[in-house]
């Protein structure tokens, strides 16, 4: 077939035009970059700004990582880019130069490092200086770390050690113990304590009593790494010493078990829990002089001219369960929830070494406490903290005998127990709201503290 010259040139030009348009469409296909943003431990980081910049350092496009740390930057023209990631609390991430081809979807995970802070330590000459800090008074004492580990793991001994460190309190009511800022409550196990402050500020307007003898206990929060610990100790009756007043002393023992652990629940929440249990099989030894001797078979007393000794088993158990949940509700809001269950059972407790077994009493007490703590950073100079607590305590007491009591002081006491059946139920409600304001060299704290005991 013969084509005229002008028609031939037209077809050649049309073919080259179609090829040019096709090649242009292929080069114009956009590229993309996607991946995850994580910290050095591998935990995903949400809310990080990921930006693709050109060779001149000019931002081209950016994206924000999702709750799972995923990000995607689309619509990038083929070429060379540098990817940068920025997130508060982490060092700026800058990638090497990457090259994107037409239509390419490149996967690139980002690991953001923690910032390296430079600290300057200034050592002053040893000379007397005036310091107005509340914790700098001569009676202030902060116990943490290895100092805290040196204290006893037994709750009763720990309480006695803290009272000895705090010293005598001002006024007739004695010292007070504050747990996470709340009045009273049950002393937590040592494994759940982060820090103990004794007499931090005796004249603080925040408290309604003079601060001598005051003990402030702060419990451990959750952490970003999974950890745990189990502790057990005890002694068996076979290794205990005898008693010179009793020819055969029944075996008595004490066992204590404590477990704690914690870790992250998500990128914005963490938990901590502590479980403590102690079992004691105590023996009460009594010795009476020229007094009555009780015969259990006939339920009668007879008079003895000599001394009579005996033992009474007095078992006791104690349990303390305390979980805690910490949540980061945004950049400037922290919420902490804490629950504590406490139970103590004691049986056949004698009031003294000259009391007969019929004078024994038994007791049982349980306590449930729920605490809420919300802290908000309003701005760089203003912080508000709201706390609330509900605590229910139930205690019961029962005597071994309800017969009338009798005795001779210093020689013996018999008959029934001095206390009868009792059942006590108490509810403690507490609400606090404090605002801390910094104004130049001044720190101002004001708020309200309300308690209700029923």
- Give 127-175 pLDDT, tens digit per residue: 445 555 555 565 578 888 888 888 888 877 888 888 787 777 766 666 6
8 Å CB contact between 169 and 256: no
Which of 3.40.50.10420, 3.30.70.2190, 2.60.40.10, 3.40.190.10 is the CATH number of 28-111?
Answer: 2.60.40.10
Tell me what pLDDT residue 140 has: 73
Per-position DSSP letters for 73-86, written without gaps between them: EEEEPSEEEEEEEE
Query: CA triplet 2, 3, 6: central angle to 5 degrees?
Result: 155
Give which of 90, 88, 52, 57 is closest to 71, Cα–Cα: 52
Domains of the chain: which residue ranges?
A: 28-111, 131-219, 225-453
Tell me what pLDDT residue 64 has: 92
- Give 286-307 pLDDT, tens digit per residue: 777 655 666 667 766 666 556 6
User: Exposure of 248 by Cβ count < 10 A (0-12 exposed, 13-18 middle, 19+ buried)?
Assistant: exposed
Q: What is the b/e burial string over 428-448, where b = at least 16 CB atoms within 10 angstroms of the residue's CB?
A: bebebebbeeeeeeeeeeeee
Separation between Cα atoms, residue 323 and residue 339, nearest integer Å: 6
Per-position DSSP letters for 414-434, written without gaps between them: EES-SS--EEEEEEEEEEEEE
Give which of 312, 288, 321, 409 is closest to 360, Cα–Cα: 312
Pairing of strands 105-107, 31-38: parallel
Q: Which parts of the chain register pLDDT below 70?
A: 1-28, 116-139, 170-175, 200, 242-245, 247-251, 289-296, 299-307
Separation between Cα atoms, residue 168 and residue 166, nearest integer Å: 7
What does the DSSP 8-state code read for residue 6? Answer: H
8 Å CB contact between 423 and 396: yes
Tokens linked to 216: 């402030």
Give which of 415, 297, 273 is closest to 351, Cα–Cα: 415
């Amino acid at each position: 077939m013969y084509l005229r010259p002008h028609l031939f040139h037209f077809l050649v030009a049309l073919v080259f035009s179609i090829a040019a348009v096709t090649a242009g469409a292929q080069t114009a296909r956009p590229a993309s970059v996607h991946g995850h943003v994580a910290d050095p431990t591998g935990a995903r980081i949400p809310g990080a700004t990921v930006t693709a910049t050109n060779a001149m350092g000019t931002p081209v496009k950016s994206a924000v990582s999702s709750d799972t740390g995923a990000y995607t930057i689309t619509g990038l023209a083929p070429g060379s880019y540098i990817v940068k990631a920025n997130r508060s609390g982490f060092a700026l991430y800058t990638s090497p130069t990457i090259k994107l081809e037409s239509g390419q979807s490149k996967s690139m995970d980002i690991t953001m490092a923690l910032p390296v802070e430079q600290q300057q330590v200034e050592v002053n000459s040893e000379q007397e200086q005036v310091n107005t800090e509340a914790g700098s008074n001569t009676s202030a004492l902060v116990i943490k770390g290895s100092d805290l580990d040196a204290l006893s793991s037994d709750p009763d001994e720990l309480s006695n050690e803290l009272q000895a460190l705090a010293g005598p309190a001002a006024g007739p009511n004695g010292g007070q113990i504050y747990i996470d800022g709340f009045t009273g409550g049950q002393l937590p196990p040592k494994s759940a304590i982060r820090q103990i402050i004794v007499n931090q500020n005796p004249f603080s307007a925040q408290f309604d009593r003079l601060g001598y003898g005051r003990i402030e206990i702060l419990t451990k929060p959750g952490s970003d790494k999974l950890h745990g610990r189990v502790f057990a100790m005890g002694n068996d009756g076979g290794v205990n010493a005898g008693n010179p007043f009793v020819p055969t002393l029944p075996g008595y023992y004490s066992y204590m078990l404590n477990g704690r652990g914690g870790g992250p629940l998500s990128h914005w929440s963490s938990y901590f829990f502590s479980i403590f249990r102690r079992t004691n099989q105590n023996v009460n030894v009594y010795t009476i002089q020229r007094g009555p001797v009780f015969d259990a078979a006939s339920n009668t007393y007879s008079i003895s001219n000599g001394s009579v000794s005996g033992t009474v088993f007095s078992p006791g158990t104690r349990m303390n369960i305390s979980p805690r949940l910490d949540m980061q509700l945004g950049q400037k809001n922290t919420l902490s929830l804490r629950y504590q269950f406490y139970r103590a059972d004691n049986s056949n407790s004698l009031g003294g070494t000259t009391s007969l077994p019929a004078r024994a009493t038994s007791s049982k007490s349980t306590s449930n406490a729920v605490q809420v703590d919300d802290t908000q950073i309003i701005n760089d100079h203003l912080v508000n903290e709201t706390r609330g607590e509900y605590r229910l305590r139930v205690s019961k007491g029962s005597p071994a005998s309800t017969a009338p009591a009798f005795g001779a002081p210093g020689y013996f006491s018999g008959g029934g127990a001095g206390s009868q059946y009792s059942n006590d139920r108490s509810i403690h409600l507490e609400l606090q709201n404090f605002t801390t304001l910094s104004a130049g060299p001044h720190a101002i704290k004001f708020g309200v503290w309300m308690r209700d005991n029923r």
